[in-house]
Structure 1
């Protein structure tokens, strides 16, 4: 123990000496094997002279290949390959000496070829073996000297990623991982051994193994695993109270190696229950490259990611517009640091200010506009309906009118599934915005004007966006709970921020104008199930460590969302996960005339009249859990 603490790294001279001794022993023993331990025959072979020649040549080759400079306790595959080259060159050089002595000088061989081959193989075996023994010695003594907490685990994936994961966890300096074996979906691997440990089978074996070994953790170490299978594995872990971990993507491994600290908890995004929707249309880059692009709401969750993806496409100019000063500044600093050669302009402006929006279009002449600016929080918009109309409807009108006036090629508007059969002010304001841009697109084409394509994208809740349920649950978990759910039956569609931005950019390429693009987002997810899984994934138990509190539906909140109205049809596109909603556009002149009335109803005392006007324009807007139910002839339950 004292020796292992005193000498953490073997000095080079000691490694060189050990290697020399091993070379001598290997070649000497090779003589015995080649002569079948015949002492008389060995006496005629000049054993000592041949052995010393082999060792001397080996030392010279070692000096050239630097095979003695490695840290023995960290010996890996590359070190083994270096030793192989060293021994190979040594055998080659001694063989060349034999050739020169026999065919040029006419004398006998310095080392017989049979002895040379056997000696080379023995040298390779012993040089690698003693390094592995030293490595194992230091590893075991390190563990003995550290009082580390133990973790009983299995690794899911008996492949290359599983092998790398295993080697990473056994070297961990924070925990002593007791790896009992591997699980794998390949039935051919069941019953075999991998990294010296058994492969038990697939996830069906987990319950028995958990009872047998009292498992605490399962590390999912498969790079290409379908979301459905990942969810099945994690659900099995949750049912058995086993903490699930996963490895990061390969591009996040440092130098191709995985460190124990890189292992991460399973993210709730991993449990969407459907295949990730990946578009990555090469035409997106072609459309944006060399063009002037404006992003409104550029400091928000969608707008910020959208801006970064656009910046990667090398536009001629990127204009970021937002009213939120600090987030806009942060976004500007980030993009300037990441894309130093990109002409970038951050504009602090409100889309509700028509003159300010006009100045932006006049100054920068954008060719493409991505309109993500919006007020989105349902309960807040129920309190302040005038603000929702000003931003979501009239702000969209300002941007759309300027886009048409200044000859923008395409404008893509970000909408929401809450615009379908809206039950709240926010959803209704977004539906009105959809109606306006659709009717404007139809009107300008009927007038044979130089066309601006007005395109809408409609999707569900975005995981991790500002104010969404996931960050809320994370904060509540951090503070010890409870996690608040409005109703046990509430369901929502979910998508990730990259998926949402992909849809917006794809719409810009696919759309000609007038379309409303919707995603196939799979099955809706119950929020209470999401809460339970987040508690489990944090290593705690719902109802025991963290409570779930039912708070009741908030004003304007639906139990479930829809991406299409029951009366809306849809058509397929080139991508199986994207559809176009067949929504009949309204009459532009009529919609524009009715919208003028909103500008006279922004006083607080006019709220009922304002929302009533919204309901006239959007007949399917029926309020839920809101003071505006009175306008539908309903009574608010108290």
Structure 2
């Protein structure tokens, strides 16, 4: 589309705001004509300066028209040779500047040669005071041509920045260190990102009068003192990897108080290369709850898996699928993944085969409560390690269907663990839960029963398998956990439903939880229950407030919070250790061994057989009564089974 048609479209479409940054590039001949005008101006300036600075009554030019046309002709010749007009001015580079220098220098040199030849042939000077004149001409012509390009480049840069700033989210960059500056430069240089950086933010007070990348540096005091409208900002961009948890919480509390949006930056490489505006994401509640991951460099973990055959039950679930991802990094010979959920199993199969094409996988659709279905797997593959993550875990559903929890959590665990012992698997690692400690619901009691069985199996005659249990709290982002649930409620406009204003929970990330599982499998000597230092518990109502604010909304105003009462089997506070348990330190301060009461194998096996038969008959009350005999500390809470405790 020509410039004329573009202008007509602007005029007659009713849009009277001419967007200068969208103007098409000028024809090259127009640029050449503009450059010639500057050459003429340079000639005139040089002549004027010579006449004013050097007292000389003699005419500078012997033939004014001859000199003008000679210099202009030579200039055009070298402009064509070096194609100084071919570059797009608003995108001028050092190469374009160098071409200008060569063109003006060669023009000056050739004019000097022509002037010298003219004197020899004609017998008079074409340019009086030729050397001073040509020096001034060279300097002025190059300067004018350069300044013209610099002006156009800066003009379009200012227009573009103005346009961007009016349409884009105005943000501050948190930090003034090298990483923060590099992050800011990457945002400024990436036209695909819908953000305009207005300055930097720091805790320090010695940078008030300094600037970075031409942007001001603001102090925390200024953010605390003024509103975001006065400061002219919409949000803050931060790099959470550069901050401690305490620093992160302090800044985030301030930003939320000031109703500022909080964005987190990816790696610098992603920022520079991404054409996707969603590269910079809004800070999520998981980023605030996520502690610095515990990484234990242990070559034994690799040795336990390298070239080995591994079974992972519940492999399509949140924990099981992450265990697969981490185990695959250690290059086992084969990973057998077992789950009864068809669609999730199909999805994890597609992901694993695409992500780890060199690892051998076997995906098995089966129910662990069916021993005859899973025993052939032990016969065929001779597993070195078993990670047992299969379980029913949703408290209210299991409270309604206790017999189903028995068949999976107890009978299923019994089947897998006894087969592991029978076929001399080296290590068996069971994933348990903090709800097994002083349980108030069927789910927790069923998992505690499974713990007791696995521990008892350790000491049976002829057993060489090391049975290890890991116990931890809620994992961020797992299926059915509170955070995804709150996110959906916020997206729908609320309300957020919380069972009780005082309810608290421990949280950890899925990768962190699975790292614990793998470490426990290496550290354990058999019969241990490993518990994890999960830090301070989080109050769920505080979690909800922060999630609402991080979404740019106001609790109780934009998103109501409704208390629905404790669900069947739910308790206010989760615990990782029972009252009568003692703990032992391991070689890592964050991982402890819980010494809980145990039970003889004959006794727990008898209980398991009884409760399994009751579950198969669908006797809910009998099932819960037996659970309370197996786990005496199991006291039902907010449940129809509270009557059994009396």
TM-score, normalised relative to structure 1: 0.80
Q: C-alpha distance in 1, partners of 2:402/2:101?
A: 82
Q: Conserved in 1, the CA contact under 8 Å of 2:100 and 2:145? A: no
Matches within 5 A, 1:586-601: 586-601=599-614
Q: CA deviation at 1:24?
A: 7.8
Provide the residue aligned with 1:617 in structure 2: 630
- Find the partner of 1:431 among 445, 448, 458: 448
Can you list the C-alpha shifts for 1:97-130, whole angstroms capped at 9, x where unaligned? 9xxxxxxxxxxx9x99999999999998876664
Q: Conserved in 1, the CA contact under 8 Å of 2:198 and 2:233? A: no
Can you list the C-alpha shifts for 1:576-620, whole angstroms capped at 9, x where unaligned? 322222335432233223322222211566322222222222222
Q: Confirm or deny that 1:397 pairs with 2:414.
A: yes
- Find the partner of 1:477 among 490, 499, 506: 490
Q: Conserved in 1, the CA contact under 8 Å of 2:503 and 2:573? A: yes
- Find the partner of 1:185 among 189, 193, 203: 203
- Find the partner of 2:308 among 291, 296, 318: 291
Q: C-alpha distance in 1, partners of 2:55/2:458?
A: 103
Q: C-alpha distance in 2, partners of 1:280/1:55?
A: 69
Q: C-alpha distance in 2, partners of 1:197/1:11?
A: 32
Q: C-alpha distance in 2, partners of 1:415/1:388?
A: 14
Provide the residue aligned with 1:457 in structure 2: 470
Provide the residue aligned with 1:232 in structure 2: 250
Going from structure 1 to structure 2, the CA distance change for 1:341 and 1:58 (only over 3 Å counts) comes to farther
Q: Conserved in 1, the CA contact under 8 Å of 2:182 and 2:268? A: no
Going from structure 1 to structure 2, the CA distance change for 1:558 and 1:199 (only over 3 Å counts) comes to same
Provide the residue aligned with 1:200 in structure 2: 218
Q: How many residues align?
A: 601
Q: Conserved in 2, the CA contact under 8 Å of 1:24 and 1:52? A: no
Partner SS, residue 541 of structure 1: coil
Q: Conserved in 2, the CA contact under 8 Å of 1:361 and 1:402? A: yes
Q: C-alpha distance in 2, partners of 1:5/1:234?
A: 39
State which drifts further: 7-16 or 504-513: 7-16
Q: CA deviation at 1:87?
A: 7.3
- Find the partner of 1:357 among 371, 374, 378: 374
Q: CA deviation at 1:57?
A: 8.8
Q: C-alpha distance in 2, partners of 1:414/1:284?
A: 17
Q: CA deviation at 1:263?
A: 2.6
State which drifts further: 575-584 or 453-462: 575-584
Q: CA deviation at 1:327?
A: 0.9
Going from structure 1 to structure 2, the CA distance change for 1:365 and 1:137 (only over 3 Å counts) comes to same
Q: Conserved in 2, the CA contact under 8 Å of 1:457 and 1:518? A: yes
Provide the residue aligned with 1:160 in structure 2: 181
Q: C-alpha distance in 2, partners of 1:361/1:408?
A: 9
Q: C-alpha distance in 1, partners of 2:29/2:302?
A: 58
Can you list the C-alpha shifts for 1:384-429, whole angstroms capped at 9, x where unaligned? 1121121112211111112222232222211111111111111111
Q: CA deviation at 1:300?
A: 0.8
Q: C-alpha distance in 2, partners of 1:125/1:510?
A: 70
Going from structure 1 to structure 2, the CA distance change for 1:364 and 1:210 (only over 3 Å counts) comes to same
Provide the residue aligned with 2:153 in structure 1: 131
Q: Conserved in 2, the CA contact under 8 Å of 1:374 and 1:392? A: yes
Partner SS, residue 460 of structure 2: helix
Q: C-alpha distance in 2, partners of 1:6/1:201?
A: 34
Q: C-alpha distance in 2, partners of 1:25/1:458?
A: 85
Unaligned runs of 5+ in 2: 1-5, 8-17, 61-66, 110-130
Q: C-alpha distance in 2, partners of 1:189/1:278?
A: 37
- Find the partner of 1:513 among 523, 526, 530: 526
Matches within 5 A, 1:194-593: 194-202=212-220, 204-210=221-227, 213=230, 217-223=234-240, 224-240=242-258, 242-250=259-267, 253-256=270-273, 260-272=277-289, 274-279=291-296, 283-443=300-460, 447=462, 449=463, 451-583=464-596, 585-593=598-606
Matches within 5 A, 1:3-82: 8=23, 10=25, 13=28
Matches within 5 A, 1:100-111: none
State which drifts further: 554-563 or 531-540: 531-540
Going from structure 1 to structure 2, the CA distance change for 1:15 and 1:420 (only over 3 Å counts) comes to farther
Can you list the C-alpha shifts for 1:356-390, whole angstroms capped at 9, x where unaligned? 11122223332222111000011111111121121
Q: Conserved in 1, the CA contact under 8 Å of 2:313 and 2:338? A: yes
Q: CA deviation at 1:439?
A: 2.2
Can you list the C-alpha shifts for 1:484-516, whole angstroms capped at 9, x where unaligned? 100000000011112112222222233333222
State which drifts further: 154-163 or 556-565: 154-163
Going from structure 1 to structure 2, the CA distance change for 1:259 and 1:321 (only over 3 Å counts) comes to closer
Partner SS, residue 188 of structure 1: coil
Going from structure 1 to structure 2, the CA distance change for 1:196 and 1:385 (only over 3 Å counts) comes to same
TM-score, normalised relative to structure 2: 0.79
Q: Conserved in 2, the CA contact under 8 Å of 1:22 and 1:126? A: no
Q: Conserved in 1, the CA contact under 8 Å of 2:21 and 2:159? A: no
Partner SS, residue 271 of structure 1: helix
Going from structure 1 to structure 2, the CA distance change for 1:205 and 1:280 (only over 3 Å counts) comes to farther
Q: CA deviation at 1:215?
A: 5.7
Q: Conserved in 2, the CA contact under 8 Å of 1:518 and 1:581? A: yes
C-alpha RMSD of matched pairs (Å): 4.5
Q: CA deviation at 1:330?
A: 1.1
Q: CA deviation at 1:208?
A: 1.4
Unaligned runs of 5+ in 1: 98-108, 634-638
Partner SS, residue 637 of structure 2: coil
Q: CA deviation at 1:221?
A: 2.5
